Amino acid sequence: MPTGGVTHTYEFLSDEWIAAVAALRDEYDLDATSAPVTLRANLIVTEVPFSSEDLLAHVDTSRGGLAIDRGHLASPDLSVTVTWATAKALLVEGNPQAALSAFMEGKVRIEGDVGKLMAFQSGVIDASTQQIAARVRALTT
């Protein structure tokens, strides 16, 4: 099991952060694992601190663990418009309560299969996934 330490931190969803998370994905060979829930979701991230434009990204568990990258997927299960801070709270900090609060305040818009998103949020997290999540948090500013 990989145990490499983090020497740099990057801003959530910056090009550098995306590359560092992809490197972690490769290190753990997440394509060889299976996710408890298959989810393909496009994100429109608003209020991005390092950009004057909305950021288009996606999350995809169809090949194994969670892949996060720029751009949109063809035929996603759902599309989510979310603030940068809420996306970070959910995807990095693992705080579904922040996403629920933002949704209740109208700061999150979801189109598509909401059931898949709910199943994803309540999926079982194994020890390896917890270790990867800790490393993602450590490399995120």
**From the CA atom positions of the chain, what is the Rg in Å?**
14
Q: What is the pLDDT of residues 8-61, one digit of tens each?
A: 899 999 999 999 988 888 787 655 555 667 899 999 999 999 999 999 999 998
Q: Give all strands (DSSP E) within the chain, no chain letters.
A: 40-46, 55-60, 67-70, 78-83, 109-112
User: What Å distances lie between residue 28 and 32, 40, 89, CA to CA?
Assistant: 9, 20, 23
For residues 129 and 17, is the Cβ–Cβ distance under 8 A? no
Q: CA-to-CA distance for 80 and 51, rounded, in angstroms?
A: 19
User: What Å distances lie between residue 106 and 53, 99, 102, 103, 124, CA to CA?
Assistant: 20, 10, 6, 5, 28
Q: What is the pLDDT of residues 78-97, one digit of tens each?
A: 999 999 999 998 888 888 78
Q: CA-to-CA distance for 44 and 42, rounded, in angstroms?
A: 7
Helix (H, G, I), strand (E, B) or coil at 34: coil
Q: Model pTM greater than 0.85?
A: no
Residue type, 61: T
Angle between helices 96-104 and 84-91 (to 10 degrees): 150
Query: In the structure, what pLDDT confidence band is assigned to residue 120 with cuts at 50, 70 and 90?
Result: confident
Domains contained in the chain, CATH given: 15-138 (3.30.1050.10)
